Amino acid sequence: MDKYKNLKRARHHIVFLAALLFGSIFIYFLNNLDLRKQGLGVIEIKRAIAPDLNVTKKVLTANDMEAAKTAWKYFEHNYHEVSGLVNSVDKFPSTTLWDTGNYLMALISAQKLKLISPEVYTLRMHKALDTLGKIELYRGLLPNKVYNTITLKMTDYANKETEGIGWSAIDIGRLLIPLAYLQFNQPEYHKELHQILSQWNLKELTQKGALYGAVVEEGEEELLQEGRLGYEQYTSKMFGTFGVDITNALRYDKYLEYIDIYDIEIPYDKRDKEHSDANNYVVMEPYMLDGLEFGWDYFSKEFSYRLYEAQKRRYEETDILTAVSEDHLDQAPYFVYNSVFVNKDEWVAIDEQGNVINEMKQLSTKASFAMDALYDSNYTKALVKALNPLQSDRGWYAGIYEKDNKVNKSLTCNTNAIILESILYKREGPLLKMIKNQ
């Protein structure tokens, strides 16, 4: 029996080392990849409007550091020493894989900004990675979508203990980004990375180069394609570093369409609710994260700028400060996709089922900070200035409702992590550089 166990461990070790080798080769490949060469030929963006946005590293101001300190308060108040994990939402002991990725990015940012000591960083990082290497996996294959941050039990989104509700390829892709950063920059964590990744069967996440998640309803499991334009390409970039085929997920051209909004051709995914039972919301989230972390590729640079410009023009037309993304709410239905375009409609807010909830439109805190870091314009300065009342002793609130200018007092890991990333970007530029911005 011991001989069998040793052979199994050796096999896992060989697989992991092979993935590291492949990942190193794939990083080189991505760094030299021209994403314009997609489908049957070279895809060029017509009427490109994005200017050359050379990253100019800045000396952080007192206001920048104060904003970062406020954001880090969230991770002080919502940290669990026993598990090493952080709540997705203030005081609610639950986390998704996406938010665990957010937390690790916040932790890396906080250490680089010297908000915490190297000792605190090391202790927290080791603890979080150790936990990720021990959590129960859904069907023994991949992490469940949600876990209790205290007990580490698999749960549903209401934090009710369950045998598992499946996995999200998109969420796991988000988590792989800080793990890849550690893999290539901080070898002292390789032991924990080995423990984590040798157990996760990442090849279950794709079929024919596209991302697939597992959904469990009434005890029945179904595999469904995950990701729409922006999210699919952003989260798939890191799968390749771990030996996963993402050849179709990385393509921008396959389902690409445009809609004219304020005389700007806004990109969207033609797989909408009517044709695929999934919402094709166009929000800032994937593009701003792609810019902050990877420095954009040929497509994400142009698409991000078009969304930024459309939001600026909406403000000029309506006098409503506009920075839209997905966000938590402090009232029902508690989550919103505030979209430039979704399911054939412009400037619409929807819930997770696709129901229109325009009364929940808001100026997003995280989108405002990210756009200011990326574009540094008079408009983005106005966005951030409007957010001054949103600082609290537990972090930054999520946004300001358009209908009455009241503060959305939801406090989340996502908002505060992206603020920390945005401030670090101002000083250092993108954390990881992948795929040339041709």
Crossing angle of helices 2-31/169-185, nearest 10°?
90
Residues composing the chain? 438
**Tens digits of per-residue pLDDT, 58-100?**
899 999 999 999 999 999 999 999 999 999 999 999 999 999 9
CATH 1.50.10.140 fits 2-428, yes or no: yes
Residue 49: the pLDDT is: 85
Calpha distance 176→183 (Å, rounded): 10
**Tens digits of per-residue pLDDT, 166-185?**
999 999 999 999 999 998 89
pLDDT-derived band at 289 (thresholds 50, 70, 90) equals very high
In the chain, domain spans? 2-428
CB 214 within 8 A of CB 222: yes
In one-letter notation, the amino acid at residue 380 is T
Kindly report the number of other CB atoms within 10 A of residue 274's CB atom: 10
pLDDT-derived band at 360 (thresholds 50, 70, 90) equals very high
Least confident of 48-52, 199-203, 258-262: 48-52
Residue 233: the pLDDT is: 94
Integer-rounded Cα Rg, in Å, for the chain is 21
Over residues 364-389, mean pLDDT: 97
Least confident of 41-50, 256-265, 420-429: 41-50
In one-letter notation, the amino acid at residue 153 is K
- Residue 10 in this model has a pLDDT that exceeds 50: no
CA 423 to chain centre: 16
pLDDT-derived band at 53 (thresholds 50, 70, 90) equals confident
pLDDT-derived band at 3 (thresholds 50, 70, 90) equals very low
Over residues 290-304, mean pLDDT: 95
- 3-state DSSP assignment of residue 376: coil
Over residues 414-433, mean pLDDT: 95
Tell me the pLDDT of the chain averaged across its residues.
91
Exposure letters 84-106 (e unless 16+ CB within 10 A, then b): bbbbbbbeebbbbbbbbbbbbbb
CB 370 within 8 A of CB 292: yes
CA angle, 185 then 189 then 191, to 5°: 130
Give pairs for 206-210: CB < 8 Å, separation 24+.
206/169, 206/239, 206/244, 206/245, 206/246, 206/249, 208/245, 208/248, 209/245, 209/246, 209/247, 209/248, 209/249, 209/250, 210/248, 210/249
Residue 238: the pLDDT is: 85
Residues 431, 434, 435, 438: what is their CA dihedral angle, to the nearest 10 degrees?
30
Calpha distance 216→354 (Å, rounded): 19
Residue 4: the pLDDT is: 45
